[in-house]
Amino acid sequence: MFAASLVRRVLSTPSTLANAAITRQIPQQSSSFLRFVHTNSVDDATKSAVNKLRDQLRFYAIAEVAGRPLLITKNDLVTVHRLKDVSVGDVLTLDKVREIGSKDYVLRGQPYVKEDLFNIQATVIEQTKSKMISIIKKKRRKNYKRTITHKQTHTVLRISNVDVNKLD
């Protein structure tokens, strides 16, 4: 019983779950070139895989927040460098997700997971500064001493939602 519940299976059928268009070749009688059609429909294999993941209820995601990949779950506090065009209370949707998983299953993107499959939102809580740090440069016996004081600016986000979408 333990072994079965702790087995992790990677759900990656590369052509369907990656962030790439599904291409289909349409034969043309007169022309010699190939025409490609973009389709956004999700096939049954993808649906069953994603629904298996969704049934597990608790998720984590490796999402790129402000350019850095971070492992996040719901209710987390994430501190990043200050985001300039954002005010306190705004809700941000994270779209660059490398991996979204649960206890037994994981969805890995190549390089990112398709955006229709998940919903990750973060609320901007705070735009603060760090504690003051003093950088002291000294060269001894040369009468050289400099002090630089610095307070780094940060934006604090609360991950309000990490969800896998239901595919019908």
Partner 1 sequence: MSAQRLASVTKNGVGAYVLQCRKMVFNYCENWGSNKGMINYLKKDIVEFAKANPQIEVVVEQRPAHHPVIRGEYLNGREKVICVRNMAPFEIKQKVQLLKESSGAKLKNLTKRPVLSTTESVRGIWSPFHTNPHKI
Residue 10 burial (10 A CB sphere; 0-12, 13-18, 19+): exposed
Mark 74-113 with x for binding to partner 1 (rule: CB under 8 A) and - for no binding.
Answer: xxxxxxx------xxx-----------xxx----------
Interface positions, 41-70, toward partner 1 (CB under 8 A): 58-60, 65, 68, 70
Among 13, 110, 119, 152, binds partner 1 (CB under 8 A): 152
Which CB sits closer to partner 1, 22 or 124? 124
Q: Indicate the residue type of 31.
A: S
- Residue 16 or 102: the one with the smaller Cβ distance to partner 1 is 102
d(CA 122, CA 9) in angstroms, rounded, equals 28
Distance CA 150, CA 133 (A): 5
Name the β-bridge partners of 164: 118
Residue 3 engages partner 1 in binding (rule: CB under 8 A): yes
Residue 9 touching partner 1 (CB under 8 A)? no
CA distance 161 to 140: 54
Least distance between partner 1 and beta carbon 11 (Å): 15
